[in-house]
Structure 1
Amino acid sequence: MNATMRRVAIATAVVSMAASLAACGSAKEADDKGEKKKKSGPLNIGLLLPEDQTARYENFDRPLIKKKILADCADCEIHYVNAKSDPAVQQQQVDSMITKKVDVIILDSVDSKSISGSVKKAAEAHIPVVAYDRLAEGPVSAYTSFDNETVGKVQGKALLEALGKKAKDGKVVMLNGWEADPNAAMFKKGALSVLKGKVDIAKSYDIDRWLAEEANKAMTGAISSVGKSNIIGVYSANDSMAGGAITALKSGGVKPLPPVTGQDAELAGVQRVVSGEQYMSVYKSYVEEATAAAKMAIALGRGEKVDGTSTVDSPTTKDIPATLIPPVSLTKDKIKSTVVKDGLYTVSQICTAKLKAACDKAGLK
């Protein structure tokens, strides 16, 4: 190799190494590059939620975040959009927020990977992004969610508790969340850390877009494959899918219904827990999550730093300030002390005429 070629090779190697080292930055570096001037007065805040199939986003997250923002910044303006499970639509929505020159974006991503380019565009426009509920890739400035691996552990422990000494007497079916949602992998990991070796997992499905009808199809297939008399438990990652699975179990003639897990404390899920059709849900304090998101967004919108209770790493960004909220196993005996006490639902909303006897038995009066 002559001297000229050697110099070219060395230069190429140096550039390649630099690019490699730059590929995974930190939240602090992202903030430093996109540093905003201090701002007082009203803020324009973009709120981007991922879908409307799961009841929580429209019923809880949206109104709670709005309420918490306006409590601390009465003249702030909130620009709300819902991507309805379409990653391409959400990318366009981020572009629209950049065009509007919002001060900060709260983003619950449809697809955490595909949205990374949009997050980068926002950072380049000096618009910080708070990753809400799902950890988006790209240079996000802050993150709030629940301890998602613990959610899976809570579900797995509840299922084992429901099965008791019969845990090895039959087959368990797993209905996991959508692969594009990074939380789904954490729920599954947490659940498997509890269930593996203690139950026989006959079938495991990753359910497209968390859809109840897809969970219903998967459960119907599992009944046909495993046999209705062999299914002793169902791990469902959320309440919507649990509803689809329970419908399939009933249609398939599975009696008695096996214990089914859930998550999100949807009203229909809570009612199934009361009636005994669903063994448990997971209660997550949306009030705490919304409060954390609102405080982070206002601080970042004003050009201030945020401090989380911890830090997390995404595949692209290190040391993201994070506030992670612990989940609660929601069984029949905890409904009054969680969702009713915290004002998510009233007893009258939960206890329809059909559920009166079950509610009386559960002490819901």
Structure 2
Amino acid sequence: MKLKRGVALAAVVGLTMTLGACGGDSDSGSGGSGGGDEAPQGSIGVILPDTESSVRWESADRPALEAAFDEAGVDYDIQNAEGSADRMATIADSMISGGATVLAIVNLDSDSGAAIQERAASQGVQTIDYDRLTLGGSAGYYVSFDNTVVGELQGQGLADCLGDEDANLVYLNGSPTDNNATLFSEGAHSVLDEVSGYENVGEQAVPDWDPDEAVTIFDQLYTQAGGEVDGVYAANDGLAGAAISILERNGRNGEVPVTGQDATVEGLQAILAGDQCMTVYKSAKQEAAALADTAIALVNGEEPETTGETEDVDGDRQVPSVLLEPESITADNLDVVFDDGGQTVEDVCTGRYEAMCEDAGIS
């Protein structure tokens, strides 16, 4: 991924209107509100990928997007493909035929995502890649975090937790159909491969980011390494939890540092318990605001402000992008997530974690 840093993202404010939702399933989470004479003349469709790869899509992204669109007074429809490329295509067709003028997707794979964008373009609908770049696609804009940096933070976090000792590492990568997972892994390897005392003793991608499948995969990798595993690169908190469950079965949880991503409730609790050494926080509020600003500008016939460009290697093109900066989270700075509203103290500090939070000075 090649970036050209440019101007910072500017917020779009002062837009109000009264419009109903553009339609969809009864559980789609559609909305829209406001009032005024100068209103956006169009509607925005957003398709989230699933509820399995990460809890963030419904617990963080959806409410953040709804808040941003409601504040702008723009007509919108947010739906979830529930892990089905066919369902995502059906939702996209419904949104397009229902009058969406801007469509943002988190693709399940680049091929199906590109097909959706091609159909949208044929109907004059502008498209945005949200969180994941669609390789070979035709989206006019890409809104995400710098995903190579995410991997670099994970790699550095694992190195910090391991210290200077020689170590055998296992890599539990994300879905092979997710371009972000490739960037995460590349970023992590760019850090960890430079440490001469680290040896890669096992590496495998987890299809569809499935935590249940990750349990089986990590168990096999751990066994193949003869249990001689000193550190685990796990691409997100769900995969981290899978690895931790196997380490716990072998009496080694808390002894073997594990990385993560998304700062989920479970991930933060694992950090408090000492089972996970770090996670990467990507503010859903920031990312949703960036998508809202980009989509609303397009609805208004304006050119969105971007921070640079991202290379689509399959499409041989540079995609105008808004790339945000992720943040490494350890036991020493958990308050970053709480202060930003990414999680609440009440959700994390429950049950046996209440005392851990008190010990960590979290209240």
TM-score by length of 2: 0.85
Deviation at 1:256, TM superposition (A): 5.0
Q: 1:280 aligns with which of 278, 290, 293?
A: 278
d(CA) in 2 for partners of 1:353, 1:89:
38
After TM superposition, the structure 1 = structure 2 runs for residues 106-117 of structure 1, keeping only pairs within 5 Å, are 106-117=104-115
Q: Show the counterpart of 2:326.
A: 327
Q: Show the counterpart of 2:182.
A: 185
Q: Show the counterpart of 1:270.
A: 268
d(CA) in 2 for partners of 1:242, 1:302:
42
Bigger-Rg structure (1/2): 1
Matched, 1:195 2:192: yes
Structure 2 letter corresponding to 1:177 = G
Q: Is the 8 A contact 2:254 2:275 kept in 1?
A: no
Q: Is the 8 A contact 1:306 1:321 kept in 2?
A: no
Deviation at 1:109, TM superposition (A): 0.7
Q: Secondary structure at the match of 2:200?
A: strand
Q: Show the counterpart of 1:70.
A: 70
After TM superposition, the structure 1 = structure 2 runs for residues 28-43 of structure 1, keeping only pairs within 5 Å, are 40-41=39-40, 43=42
d(CA) in 2 for partners of 1:322, 1:41:
22
Q: Is the 8 A contact 1:242 1:260 kept in 2?
A: yes
d(CA) in 2 for partners of 1:171, 1:101:
54
d(CA) in 2 for partners of 1:41, 1:326:
29
Q: Show the counterpart of 1:30.
A: none
Pairs aligned (count)? 321
Q: 1:346 aligns with which of 341, 344, 348?
A: 344
Q: Secondary structure at the match of 1:334?
A: coil
Deviation at 1:255, TM superposition (A): 5.6
Deviation at 1:197, TM superposition (A): 4.4
Q: Is the 8 A contact 2:128 2:140 kept in 1?
A: yes
Deviation at 1:127, TM superposition (A): 0.6
d(CA) in 2 for partners of 1:41, 1:114:
29
Matched, 1:104 2:88: no
Q: Is the 8 A contact 2:231 2:257 kept in 1?
A: yes
Matched, 1:302 2:300: yes
Q: Is the 8 A contact 2:68 2:288 kept in 1?
A: yes
d(CA) in 2 for partners of 1:248, 1:288:
34
Query: What whole-Å deviation, never above 9, does each CA across 1:20-49 have from its counterpart, x for those lacking one?
Result: xxxxxxxxxxxxxxxxxxx94453211100
CA pair 50-307 structure 1, distance change in 2 beyond 3 A = same
Q: Show the counterpart of 1:60.
A: 60
d(CA) in 1 for partners of 2:78, 2:188:
34
d(CA) in 2 for partners of 1:55, 1:256:
24
Deviation at 1:89, TM superposition (A): 2.0
Q: Secondary structure at the match of 2:303?
A: coil
Which of 144-153 and 319-328 deviates more?
319-328
After TM superposition, the structure 1 = structure 2 runs for residues 254-265 of structure 1, keeping only pairs within 5 Å, are 254=252, 257-265=255-263
Q: Is the 8 A contact 2:170 2:201 kept in 1?
A: yes
Structure 2 letter corresponding to 1:50 = P
Q: Is the 8 A contact 1:223 1:252 kept in 2?
A: no
Q: Show the counterpart of 2:164.
A: 165
Gaps of 5+ in 1: 1-38
Deviation at 1:218, TM superposition (A): 1.1
Deviation at 1:164, TM superposition (A): 0.5
Deviation at 1:254, TM superposition (A): 2.9
d(CA) in 1 for partners of 2:99, 2:338:
40
**Identity %, equivalent residues:** 35
Deviation at 1:114, TM superposition (A): 2.6
Structure 2 letter corresponding to 1:298 = I
Q: Secondary structure at the match of 2:230?
A: strand
CA pair 226-306 structure 1, distance change in 2 beyond 3 A = same
Which of 353-362 and 219-228 deviates more?
353-362
TM-score by length of 1: 0.84
Q: Show the counterpart of 1:316.
A: 315
Q: Show the counterpart of 1:224.
A: 223
Q: Is the 8 A contact 1:313 1:319 kept in 2?
A: yes
Gaps of 5+ in 2: 1-37
d(CA) in 2 for partners of 1:255, 1:266:
19
Structure 2 letter corresponding to 1:62 = R
Query: What whole-Å deviation, never above 9, does each CA across 1:108-156 have from its counterpart, x for those lacking one?
Result: 1111233212201111211101110001242211111000001000000
Q: Show the counterpart of 2:29.
A: none
Structure 2 letter corresponding to 1:217 = T
Structure 2 letter corresponding to 1:355 = Y
Q: Secondary structure at the match of 2:294?
A: helix
Deviation at 1:250, TM superposition (A): 1.1
Alpha carbon RMSD of aligned pairs, Å?
Answer: 1.6
Q: Show the counterpart of 2:19.
A: none
Structure 1 letter corresponding to 2:191 = V
Q: 2:119 aligns with which of 108, 113, 121?
A: 121
CA pair 216-293 structure 1, distance change in 2 beyond 3 A = same
Deviation at 1:363, TM superposition (A): 1.3
